Structure 1
Amino acid sequence: MQSRRQKRLFAVLLVIGLLTGAVAAMLYALQQNIDLFYTPSQLVEGLGKDKIKPQPGQRLRIGGMVVPGSVQRDPDSLKVSFDLVDTGPVVTVTFEGILPDLFREGQGIVAQGTLVDQTTIAATEVLAKHDEEYMPPEVAEALKGIRHVPPSQLQQKNSDAKPAEGRY
């Protein structure tokens, strides 16, 4: 026969084990639903001081500006591809479906999808900015003070010209 102390210890250990198992199961289930947010520069160069890059197949969200002249539509289907940029590298986004009404070149967007390779994303959802005032908080923080200048205009700028400020 077990003593009263042994029964209590067994009950406490059982409860701790069940709680640990429940927390582990929840974390495992949520792992598939975590979408990290990146800008094109963070995606290509890495995130944080350790420059951690996402792996192909990882789900993520990316926000940036649609590069003017980069939107390519397939005439036989709803497939579209376009380039996103922030301050540096360009990332290509492919999407099959109907784009939002507010989607256009030079517009800030957020795409959610899967990383195909280091500079290509297969989007499952594309969100366009609501109006001039609204922007998701994480996009506003990541893109603060960014303005895209096409490479052709970079050569035309004076070296003493003051850089333009404003929204992306």
Structure 2
Amino acid sequence: MKGLKKQRRIQIIALAAVALTLSTALIGYAMRDGINFFRSPSQVIAEPPAPTETFRIGGLVEEGSIIRGQGETVTFRVTDTNATVQVNFTGVLPDLFAENAGMVGTGRLVDGVFVASDILAKHDESYMPKEVVDALKEQGVYQDPNG
């Protein structure tokens, strides 16, 4: 009788371990495309990601760089004041998208040009995405608008 209970416990523990391993693998598989790492333009230039890798880039929209093409196509440059990356975006830009404003884009680097699938802009005059602030602080050029 004791041997049967012990064998049953071992089977339950083994089944639980297999279920835990399987669920962890499924979660990792489901999230493989949902994790987008943030990079500043300097990081993109120093270590270009693979063309298949989706990531986020952020910085300031360089002054005088916005070129509106046919339809909804827009080309501009994003900078962290140390390096600049060309960005191509087809779609509707946020209302607050402007030169010298903070932005974060999601997309891929294709032949040295960041092809964005999504663009986010600052919310108000003092807001800038945390990743952009951190990248600018790292470059030593961030100035807090609140003093």
Structure 2-normalised TM-score? 0.85
Matched, 1:25 2:16: no
Matched residue count = 141
Matched, 1:60 2:61: no
Structure 1-normalised TM-score? 0.75
Q: Report the counterpart of residue 86 of structure 1 in structure 2.
A: 80
Q: Contact 1:146–1:167 (CA<8 Å) still a contact in 2?
A: no
The runs of 4+ residues in structure 1 deviating greater than 6 Å are none
Query: Which of 95, 99, 102 pairs up with 1:105?
Result: 99
Q: Contact 1:40–1:63 (CA<8 Å) still a contact in 2?
A: yes
Query: Which of 114, 117, 137 pairs up with 1:124?
Result: 117
Q: Which runs of 5+ in 1 are unaligned?
A: 47-52, 148-165
CA RMSD of aligned residues (A): 2.0
Paired with 1:40 and 1:7, the residues of 2 have a C-alpha distance of 58
- SS of 1:99 mapped into structure 2: coil
Q: Report the counterpart of residue 109 of structure 2 in structure 1.
A: 115
Alignment of 1:137-156 (within 5 A): 137-144=130-137, 145-146=140-141
Q: Which runs of 5+ in 2 are unaligned?
A: none
Percent identity over the alignment is 42
Tell me which amino acid in the other structure corresponds to 2:102.
Answer: G
How far has the Cα of 1:45 moved from its partner? 0.9
Paired with 1:92 and 1:102, the residues of 2 have a C-alpha distance of 20
How far has the Cα of 1:7 moved from its partner? 2.6
Deviations 1:69-117 (A, max 9, x none): 221111x311111111113221111101111121122222111112223
Matched, 1:69 2:70: no
Q: Report the counterpart of residue 96 of structure 1 in structure 2.
A: 90
Q: Contact 2:59–2:103 (CA<8 Å) still a contact in 1?
A: yes
Q: Contact 2:105–2:116 (CA<8 Å) still a contact in 1?
A: yes
Paired with 1:5 and 1:120, the residues of 2 have a C-alpha distance of 62
How far has the Cα of 1:146 moved from its partner? 2.3
